[in-house]
Amino acid sequence: MPQDGDLAGELRLRDGHMRALTDLRLSVTDRCNYKCVYCRTGNDGAQFSELPIEDYARILRVFVSLGIEKIRLTGGEPLLRNGLLDLVRETAKLRPAFSSEPLDIAITTNGHLLAGLAKPLKEAGLSRITISMDAVDPETFTRITRVPGGFQKVRDGIRAAQDAGLGPVKINCVLLRGFNDTQIEAFAEFSRREQVIVRFIEFMPLEEDRTWSPETVVPMKEIVERLNRVRPLVALAPNHVSETARRFTFDDGLGEIGIIAPVSEPFCGHCSRVRLTSDGKLRTCLFSQSDHDLIGLMYRGASDDEMSSWIRQIVQHKEARHHIGEPGFLKPSRSMVHIGG
Ligand code: SAM
């Protein structure tokens, strides 16, 4: 039964497991200017799949009318996308259907182009930013991104985001054994010194090629043990029931660390997410075996109401959970390149 217990509770978008779906991740392009070893092969084809910005804007409007309260723009690399500022501007005009809070609009970016875009994004209505940065030393950083010269650009991007008022900036670091697991302690210092929230993410089997194996994952338990040796950790309360990160600070209150452990401690029970791929497919789980052709429906002339009813039906079949690490686990039908993180 809906937990809100009122009309809004009955009307808001829910899946077949009665989870309220309040969080939409939209991939605005599958192009990227980095070739991170845990994500892409780097052998991009000539064809990219992107929709016109107005089409994404319409789809976002429909989702917000259904109860979406948080929108995260992602990719590919979203800052490569022409028209991104227009999309943020249009999205910022929307009001959540069942909440008096403003719509939360976030971006996940590699930060390479952020120095010049942080201020315009803030002015367009962006609420928050997450910057992916997998090492605090330039050499390891380049070994992972496989593009020279990025490290300083990302550091400048972080500064620019802070100066533009997009703080507290979150830094995402996917830990890969043998690549950047040496960076854990340095990231703790980085969080304390730069006043950013560092979030370590367990590597998931979503890469384009086949680099994932259970041994490449650095589990939450190990991350916690190592951080505790830097300084004793103190657990922080979650901001929200569906928050994916376990939050910590250190015993002197300086720095904030989040650990996102989808592999060793899955949090699917509280999943509040749906995704739209850059080519307009609705995806109910990162690990789905198929997508649903929302853009096809829209291009065949569906009204907003028809799109809404269709979405309500599709999300009834949202997966209860993923099965990473279990016998018979199937890699999802598409890699992170197309899904958007
Ligand atoms: N290009 C942008 C960026 O670098 O943040 C947005 C897209 S990227 C796919 C979004 C997030 O997903 C990044 O923080 C990235 O590190 C994370 N990611 C990509 N592949 C992953 C994987 N196999 N396991 C865990 N996280 C992954």
Closest-CA residue, ligand 1 atom 25, reads 203
Predicted confidence at residue 4, as pLDDT, reads: 55
CA distance 181 to 162: 27
CATH superfamily, with its number, for domain 5-167+269-339: Aldolase class I (3.20.20.70)
CA distance 162 to 305: 40
Cα torsion angle, 18, 70, 199, 280, sign: positive
Atom of ligand 1 nearest to the CA of 39: 20
Question: Which residue among 32, 129, 174 is best mutated to probe the pocket of ligand 1, counting the most ligand atoms within 8 A of its Cβ?
Answer: 174
Which of 217, 230, 154, 152 has the alpha carbon at shortest distance from 185?
230
Helices (H), the chain: 7-11, 53-66, 84-91, 118-124, 138-145, 150-163, 184-194, 220-230, 294-299, 304-315, 336-339
Closest-CA residue, ligand 1 atom 5, reads 109
* Tens digits of residue pLDDT in 77-94: 999 999 999 999 999 999
Closest-CA residue, ligand 1 atom 7, reads 75
| Ranges of each domain in the chain | 5-167+269-339
Closest-CA residue, ligand 1 atom 18, reads 341
**How far, rounded to the nearest angstrom, does the alpha carbon of residue 318 sit from its chain's CA centroid?**
18
| Higher local confidence (pLDDT), 220 or 340 | 220
Strand 233-236 vs strand 128-132: parallel, antiparallel, or unpaired?
Answer: unpaired
Mean pLDDT of 235-248: 90
Q: How many CB atoms lie within 10 A of CB 18?
A: 9
220-230 helix and 184-194 helix, angle to the nearest 10 degrees: 60
DSSP 7-64: HHHHHS-B-TT--B--EEEEE--S--S---TTT--S---S------HHHHHHHHHHHH
CA distance 256 to 234: 10
* Residue 1 pLDDT > 80: no
| Higher local confidence (pLDDT), 337 or 137 | 137
Under DSSP, the state recorded for 70 is: E
Phi, psi of 88 (to 5 degrees): -65, -45
Mean pLDDT of 146-155: 96
Q: pLDDT confidence of 325, banded at 50, 70, 90?
A: confident
Strand 170-175 vs strand 233-236: parallel, antiparallel, or unpaired?
Answer: unpaired
CA atoms within 13 A on the CB side of 177: 12
- Are the C-beta atoms of residues 69 and 104 closer than 8 Å to each other? yes
Question: Which residue among 147, 151, 187, 201 is best mutated to probe the pocket of ligand 1, counting the most ligand atoms within 8 A of its Cβ?
Answer: 201
Predicted confidence at residue 336, as pLDDT, reads: 84
CA distance 41 to 337: 10
Predicted confidence at residue 211, as pLDDT, reads: 84
CA distance 92 to 50: 21
Burial (CB count <10 Å: 0-12, 13-18, 19+), residue 283: buried
Please give the distance, rounded to the nearest whole angstrom, from the Cα atom of residue 10 to the centre of ligand 1: 34
* Tens digits of residue pLDDT in 163-176: 999 989 999 999 99
Predicted confidence at residue 10, as pLDDT, reads: 80
* Tens digits of residue pLDDT in 247-278: 999 999 999 999 999 999 988 999 999 999 99
Tokens matching residue 70? 């948080």
CA distance 254 to 50: 41
Q: Is the peptide bond before 168 cis (omega within 30 degrees of 0)?
A: yes
* Residue 15 pLDDT > 80: yes
Strand 128-132 vs strand 104-109: parallel, antiparallel, or unpaired?
Answer: parallel
If DSSP codes are grouped into helix, strand and coil, which group holds residue 252?
coil
| Higher local confidence (pLDDT), 199 or 240 | 199
